[in-house]
Amino acid sequence: MNIKEHRKVTGFSGNEIYCLNKLGLNAGQLCLGNNVLALGVFKGIGAGLSNLAGGEIEEITKLVHDGRTNAYNRMMEEARRYNGVGLAGVTFDLINHGGNLEFIALGSTIHQSAAETSDRLSFSTSANAQSLYCQMDSGFTPHSFVFGNVAYSIGVGGNIKGAFRGLKRGEVPQYTQIFDRTRHLALTRIKDEAKSAKANAVIGIETTIMPFMGTQEMMMIGTASTHPALNGYFSDPVTSDMTNEELWNLVNIGYLPIRLVMGVSVYSLGLASGITSSLKSLVGGQIESLTELLYEAREKALERIEEDAEKCGADEVVGVKTRVYNLGGGLVEFMVIGTAVKKVAGITTRSDTLPPQAIIQDRETFVDDTQGGNISLDKSRMASSSKTQRGPMSIIITIVIVVFYIVVLMAKRH
């Protein structure tokens, strides 16, 4: 492949370039790596069978992981040719070309000051240059961009058991276990990558949940880093989904992140409660059964992250975010996610204040609202749960149709 170089093109904004300058660094070239893959017939059959069982769909998880890894490695090869010391703002994108999937990795190189040169790429990070400033001023040294992913499905077993359990009001353990176990797989995998990079923390974790080939994929990206006050965490790296600006503020007053914590609960409205709420919706007024159910589900999820925080010795959980997914059939999933933090003596930031350029959000100057433009994450989340449900059900329908035709053909022969 003939590789062209674009030495005057960068993905950094004016605010980012200012922050790099404050760190004694210069903006470098925009780098891109891509990889196009197809699932294939045999892998598709294997994924379909796994989908029937429920839980992780390993064939799809591996396909997506390999596609992104190959794209990332190609981007890194390009970055090394530019003789940068680092690569920042690393992100992934995915485009479907008529069934063939193109995985894209993007980032921009960072150079030392004009007086110094280097031909060794020493780090990569998911943080943009503004976030990188916050990380480094908080005492964290970036090592490597890392990610963890898992593709999963409720499966036929979960649907059948959950369907019977869904006749009653309350938590549905089958669904809760599947969702909780698979969501934590992504976190485990990003920590494993951090250990491989000899880091003691993964900071700035961003989580994306999206529908993918009849399943649901959860992906986490972040930056494997080290902090001198976290020497005891190399075997079990610290994880944090705080923004880097939040991280700086907490470090400034003496707190360090300890663990990203998640709590999941899947509840059923129940047949009787569902009928009652439907009748109530006709006349208006408060639906007490639904109010109590949703409150109970949320409290259960919050209890679980509090338990996790206590186990790791944290003082509190900050930045808690709540996500609610309507799974259909009267089932609702509550997921809460946040970062457990701990007060550490003698910890603070290098600077007393952040420059405005480190916290100013760049305004989007190109908006694509056409059909071919990007779909918002909110719309993706709304579609993800229903597609997760339809994945196993579509397989069941296909099997029933095939069996029906086999029976008909055998009957005709006899």
Kindly state the average pLDDT of the residues 24-31: 94
Given this model, what pLDDT does residue 363 score?
Answer: 82
Which of 312, 337, 51, 39 has the alpha carbon at shortest distance from 178? 51
Residue 383 pLDDT grade (very low, low, confident, very high; cuts 50, 70, 90):
very low
Pick the range with the lowest mean pLDDT from 182-186, 210-214, 299-303, 338-342.
Answer: 210-214
Given this model, what pLDDT does residue 212 score?
Answer: 78
pTM for the whole structure = 0.81
Given this model, what pLDDT does residue 49 score?
Answer: 44
Q: Six-digit token pair at 32? A: 């891109």
3-state secondary structure the chain: CCCCCCCCCCCCCHHHHHHHHHCCEEEEEEEEEEEEECCCHHHHHHHHHHHHHCEECHHHHHHHHHHHHHHHHHHHHHHHHCCCCEEEEEEEEEEEECCEEEEEEEEEEEEECCCCCCCCCCEECCCCHHHHHHHHHCCCEEEEEEEEEEEEECHHHHHHHHHHHCCCCEECHHHHHHHHHHHHHHHHHHHHHHHHCCCCEEEEEEEEEEEECCEEEEEEEEEEEECHHHHHHCCCCEECCCCHHHHHHHHHCCEEEEEEEEEEEEEECCHHHHHHHHHHHHHCCCCHHHHHHHHHHHHHHHHHHHHHHHHCCCCEEEEEEEEEEEEECCEEEEEEEEEEEEECCCCCCCCCCCCHHHCCCCCCCCCCCCCCCCCCHHHHHHHHHHHHHHHHHHHHHHHHHHHHHHHHHHHHHC
- Greater confidence (163 vs 102) lies with 102
- Which residue ranges make up each domain of the chain? 14-348+376-413
Question: What are the tens digits of pLDDT across the range 343-373?
Answer: 999 999 999 999 999 999 888 788 877 655 4
**Mean model confidence pLDDT for the chain:** 81
Q: Measure the CA–CA gap between 151 and 185, rounded to whole angstroms.
A: 10
Residue 281 pLDDT grade (very low, low, confident, very high; cuts 50, 70, 90):
low
pLDDT > 60? residue 381: no
